[in-house]
Amino acid sequence: MNPTRVTWAMIRRYPATTAIFIAVIAIAVALGIGISAQERALRQGSTAAADRFDLLVAAPGNPTEIVFNTVFLRPSAVQLMDPEIVSKALTDPRVEYAAPIGYGDNVQGLQVVGTIAQFVDRLSNGLGDGRMFEAAGEAVVGASVPFKIGDKLVPLHGSSAFADEEDGEDEHEGHHHYELTVVGHMKPTGNPWDRAVVVPIETLWNAHGLPNGHAEGDAKIGPPFDPARVPGLPAIVIKGQTVADMYGLRGEYKTPQSMAFFPAEVLLQIYDLLGNIRQVMSIMASVTQVLAFLAIFAGVVALMKLFETQFAVIRALGASRTYLFLSIWLFASAIVVTGVVLGVALGYAVAAYASNLLQRMSGVALTAAIGPDEVQLAVLGGVAGIVLATVPAALLYRRPVAAYLR
């Protein structure tokens, strides 16, 4: 006799109840899968976003804040480096380039970021369209910025389109009275610079009435800068000539007047926090799965009571206890396996949706995927569920035929 016939008959007899059992397990599994896949997507996306920011030098403060300001373009009020430190860093012979980073203006809510052409070229690995800026009134825009080459832009003061209203300034007062012409588009970088308007650092220095790094009246942009005419900066991105130079520069600019660090150092601290949160959430998800399995199997036991007469007839016709055990175990296992498979798919869908939402909010490219960790989690959950499925089967296995007829 084939026990799968009895199993299939039970599923057809109570399809809605079976579907609810499967849905409960699927949601419990999806919770764990989604948390794991999303946490890894955040790690990989943020690491890739900071990959080309080799060494950051800034005024003493919070390194995490500098990373968020510079890499993720979430500007906040930070202390500016002393012009002497800036001058020293920009002219250090050990650097391949030292890219000053400045911000404080926006165009329709998009950050206007000042730097040098060499850093833009490294960040974007060349331009996707147009040419690099060659004058203070020109701009290169990120791959996700809707502006076209030749468009004229008028920046506003502040890091968002509402900054001037919040500061009590009217629209006219918010303008810096300078205009930008879009001359090129960057290639996709996978970080928030894809949504930035990038200009020569001299553009922002001129707009804010600061020395522009060159002799007065000189319209030149980019290095070399005049050490005597360099203002303070929120941050500098440095790429050394060699790995040894990078570590030497990091040590040299760790002073009471400045700090230097690799973005990876800050990201590791964030990852540790994310790892702790993930661990707690994973434990909660695992407990949820176990509780879901137990609840389902309790429901299976209750459901089997509705089949007691049928079981008695089957036993009377010569079916063994083992036959009934396998029938009930297959029923519970089918619910578990189906729930786990659907849970993996649902978990991936949730992680993919969350990644897409976070990408739109942050500008960081996030790709959720099912990896070995998620597969292992699903397999362990499925195996545990199949093992636990023996519990309701064993409870009914031990009952004599007479008990079904009472």
Number of CB atoms found within 10 A of residue 67's CB: 25
Q: Computed over its alpha carbons, how large is the radius of gyration of the chain? A: 31
Do 43 and 59 belong to one domain?
Answer: no
213 and 334 co-located in one domain = no
Verify that 35 and 69 share a domain, yes or no: no
The low-confidence residues of the chain, meaning pLDDT below 70, are 1, 158-177, 274-278, 281, 305-312, 315-319, 396-406
Which residue's structure tokens are 């900071």?
50
C-alpha span between 181 and 337 (Å, rounded): 59
- The four Cα atoms 88, 91, 93, 95 give a dihedral, to 10 degrees, of 90
Burial class (CB in 10 A: 0-12, 13-18, 19+), 77: exposed
- How far is it, in rounded angstroms, from Cα 162 to Cα 112? 15
How far is the C-alpha of 36 from the C-alpha of 336, rounded, in Å?
20
CA atoms of 60 and 238, how far apart (whole Å): 17
Q: For 108-234, where are the E strands, in sequence order?
A: 110-115, 127-130, 138-141, 152-153, 156-157, 180-186, 197-200
> Of 229, 261, 293, which closes a domain?
261
Question: In terms of domains, do 61 and 34 share one?
Answer: no
Q: For the segment 69-114, what is each residue's pLDDT rounded down to a tens digit?
A: 999 998 888 889 999 999 999 999 999 999 999 988 889 889 999 9
> 210, 233, 261 — which closes off a domain?
261
Q: Are residues 249 and 279 in the same domain?
A: no
pLDDT at 280: 72
Residues 166/208, Cβ–Cβ less than 8 Å: no
Per-residue confidence (pLDDT) for residue 113, from 0 to 100: 94
Could you tell me the CA-to-CA distances from 44 to 66, 101, 143, 191, 268 in Å, in that order? 20, 24, 20, 12, 12
β-pairing, 197-200 with 138-141? antiparallel
Query: How many folded domains does the chain comprise?
Result: 2
CA atoms within 13 A on the CB side of 120: 28
Say whether both 219 and 92 belong to one domain. yes
Same domain, 135 and 244: yes
- What pLDDT shows up at residue 173? 46
| Structure tokens that stand for 42 in this block | 């955040």
Other CB atoms within 10 A of residue 380 CB: 14
pLDDT of residue 260: 94
pLDDT at 258: 92
Same domain, 190 and 66: yes
Nearest to 297 by CA among 327, 265, 339, 332: 332
Q: What SS3 class is residue 317?
A: coil
- What digits encode the pLDDT tens for the residues 113-149? 999 999 999 999 889 899 999 998 999 999 999 999 9
Are residues 278 and 214 both part of a single domain? no
78 and 198 inside one domain: yes
pLDDT at residue 312, rounded to an integer: 65
Q: The domain containing residue 119 runs over which residues? A: 55-261
Of the three residues 261, 280, 298, the one that is the final residue of a domain is: 261
Residues 312 and 242 occupy one common structural domain: no
Let me know whether 129 and 182 are in one domain. Answer: yes
